[in-house]
Amino acid sequence: MEEVVVVAAGRTAVGNFMGSLASVPAHELGATVIKGLLQRSGLKPDQIDEVIMGQILSADCGPNTARQAAVAAGIPYETPALTVNRLCASAMTAVHLATQAIRLGDAQIIIAGGHESMTRAPHTLGNNREGVKMGEWTMKDSLFRDALTDVFGNYPMGMTGENVAKQWKISREEQDVLALRSHNRAEAAQKTGRFKDEIIPVVIPQKKKDPIVFENDEFIRFGATADSLAKLRPAFAKDGTVTAGNASGINDGASGLILASLSKAKELGLKPMARIVAYAVAGLDPAIMGAGPIFATRKCLQKAGWKVEDLQLVEANEAFAAQACAVNKDLGLNPEIVNVNGGGIALGHPVGSSGARIIVTLIYEMQKRKLKKGLATLCVGGGMGAATAIEVY
C-alpha cells in the first residue's frame, strides 16, 4: 500500500464562545484553513483529489459544509467533498479516511481536517411540522442537544468526567494541578510565539473599520494560579470535582492537513512533514467516554508496532482534567511529554476541529524539538476514543 505523508498542516487560532470568531460561519473557517494549506504547500486547487472535513454542529449551516468550504477556498467543482461527524473525533476521522483512500490508491492528495462554530449553533423548535395543540412549545439548544449532552445517560458531558474521576480515583487536587499546568504552558507558549508557525490567520471584515486579523488563541487564562482554580465551584454535581477551570471550553476554530502518497509527494517535489504510521478508534461505555484514549492508544500502538515508551511527544486533547489524568495514569504517560504547550483545557475545544488540531500542533512541536515518534489522541462523546501515530521527518 501507498505510504501516506503530511505535506502541509495548519489551524486557525481558537476563538472564545461569542468571541472574535462569532460572526464567522464554520465553513468559512474551514475555507480559510484550506486556502492557507494550499499556500503553504504550493499546490494548486485542481491538484486536490478530495476534501474531507469534520463538523458536529451543522444544523442550519446548509448541506455538506465540507463542500461549501472547498468551493469557498477555490477548489474546483469537479473535486468531491465529504463532511464527517464522529463527534470530537470528526476531524481526526477525516484524516483517517484520507489516509485509507490514499493507501488504497483511490486518491493521491487529500485535504482533511475540521471546522466548528459552537457559537453559531442554533436553537431549534422540534415537532414544528405538526405543531403543538396545548401547552408550552420549548426550543432546544442544538449546542447541548447535538454536542454537549450524553445521549445515553441524558446528562451533560461533564458528568462523564465525574464518572471517570470516581472510577479512576482522580481527586479535585489532581485535576486542578493538571489544569494549571495546561493553562501555564499555553500562556508561556503564546508569549514565546510557539504557536505562530501552525496558525493560519483569519481575516474578519468589519462594517466601518479595518478588518480584524485573528491569529492568537483567546481562550487561554493568563495568570491562572492554584488558588484561582481552587475557588471554582463544581459545575455538574454538587459534590463533584469538575469545574469550569479544569474542563475544556466552548470554542470556535478550524484545522487541517494536506495528505499525499509519498510517491506523489516526491513526484511534485513536496517536502513531507510527517508520515501517518497507524490510527485506531475504540469504543467503551459512554458513561466513561473520557477514558476512550486509553483503549484507542493501545490499539493504535499495537498496529504501529510501538510501545508507550517509544513515544517522544503526545497531544492528548483535554476534554476534562479528570479524564486527562486517568489517561496519563492508566497508560503510564510521562506528563512532561504530554501537551507541552497546553491542551484543550487552556486552548479550547472547538469540537469538530480538535481531532486535526492536535495532530497539527503535534507535528510542529516535534519538528521544533527534532523528535520522531508522536501520538495524537482524544476522547469522543458517546463512548469512543481515537488515536493517530505519526513519525516526523
Domain spans, the chain: 4-120+249-392
Question: Angle at CA 244, nearest 5°, toward 242 and 246?
Answer: 55
Residue 110, strand partner residues? 50, 259
Q: How many other C-beta atoms lie within 10 A of the C-beta of residue 4?
A: 23
Q: How many other C-beta atoms lie within 10 A of the C-beta of residue 209?
A: 7
Whose cell is 461569542? That residue is: 18
Write down the pLDDT at residue 129: 86
CB of 348 within 8 A of CB of 217? Answer: yes
Whose cell is 478508534? That residue is: 281
4-120+249-392 fold: Peroxisomal Thiolase; Chain A, domain 1 (3.40.47)
Report the C-alpha gap between 317 and 159 in whole angstroms: 18
Write down the pLDDT at residue 131: 84
CB of 324 within 8 A of CB of 289? Answer: no
- Residues with a catalytic annotation lie at 88, 349, 379
Residue 132 has pLDDT above 90, yes or no: no
Write down the pLDDT at residue 133: 85
Q: For residue 107, what pLDDT band results from cuts at 50, 70 and 90? A: very high
Question: Angle at CA 9, nearest 5°, toward 325 and 262?
Answer: 110
Q: For residue 44, what pLDDT band results from cuts at 50, 70 and 90? A: very high
Residue-wise pLDDT tens digits, 328-369: 999 999 999 999 999 999 999 999 999 999 999 999 999 999
What is the C-alpha end-to-end distance of the chain, expressed in Å? 20
Q: For residue 263, what pLDDT band results from cuts at 50, 70 and 90? A: very high
| Whole-structure pTM value | 0.97
Q: For residue 50, what pLDDT band results from cuts at 50, 70 and 90? A: very high
Nearest residue to 384 (alpha-carbon basis) of 278, 318, 288, 249: 288
Residue-wise pLDDT tens digits, 210-261: 999 999 999 999 999 999 999 999 999 999 999 999 999 999 999 999 999 9
Report the C-alpha gap between 353 and 355 in whole angstroms: 6
Write down the pLDDT at residue 290: 99
CB of 246 within 8 A of CB of 29? Answer: no
